[in-house]
Structure 1
Amino acid sequence: MFNQALVVFRRVAGAFDTWRASQRLRGADDAMLADIGVARGHIDWLVHHGRRRN
């Protein structure tokens, strides 16, 4: 029971981290996105594929 709760907590925490990262990038201006080489329409891809998974 405890292990299942821990797995659920980790999934929720991971989803929250992904959401938080995408919100930060959505608040970035176009110059900052150009510096890292990402178009505004590709923020979701960057957050999903561009982060190291532990």
Structure 2
Amino acid sequence: MKVKVSVTLDIDVDAWVLVNGVERDEVRADVHSWARYLLFEAAADNDVLSRPTPR
């Protein structure tokens, strides 16, 4: 089963830049990558993915 997930995060841009070392104009894309990675990793760690995803 495929499940589409949508979430909105209110990110402190200055804190994100400081913690992750990215430029301000890269924050949105970096947050997307970070959230997607964490979600896939959590699902993989719980063995609930129908097909393994590359890590």
**Same fold judged by TM-score > 0.5?**
no
Which structure has more RCO (C-alpha within 8 Å, separation ≥ 6)? 1
TM-score normalised according to structure 1 size: 0.42
Compare the two structures and name the one with the higher helix fraction. 1
TM-score normalised according to structure 2 size: 0.41
Which structure: larger Rg? Answer: 1
